[in-house]
Amino acid sequence: MNYRDSILSYIKKINSTWEELPKEDLNQLSNHILVENVKKNTYLLNSGETCKYIYSIQSGSAWKFHALKGKKIPTEFAFKDDILIPFQSYYLQTPSHEYIQVLENSVIEKIEYGVFESLKLNSSVLQKLDNLFLEQHILKLEERLYSLRFHSAKEKIEWLIHRDPELFKKVPLKHIASYLDIRLETLIRERKKLKAT
pTM beyond 0.85: the answer is: no
Number of domains in the chain: 2
Q: What is the pLDDT of residue 163?
A: 77
How far is residue 158 from each of residues 10, 21, 89, 91, 148, measured CA to CA in Å? Answer: 22, 37, 31, 32, 12
3-state helix, strand, coil in the chain (%, to 5): 55, 25, 25
Owning domain of residue 192: 152-197
Per-residue confidence (pLDDT) for residue 99, from 0 to 100: 97
Q: How far is CA 116 from CA 55, 144, 155, 186, in A?
A: 12, 28, 39, 43
The answer on 96 and 31 residing in a single domain is yes
Torsion of CA 122, 126, 128, 134, to 10 degrees: -120
146, 163: one domain: no
| Domain identity same for 125 and 33 | yes
- 44 and 18 part of one domain: yes
134 and 171 in a common domain: no
Weakly modelled stretches of the chain, pLDDT under 50: 1, 3
pLDDT at position 38, please? 97
Residues 121 and 188 in one domain: no
DSSP 33: -
Domain end (from 113, 136, 151):
151
Domain at 61, CATH number: 2.60.120.10
Length of the chain: 197
What confidence score (pLDDT) does residue 113 get?
92
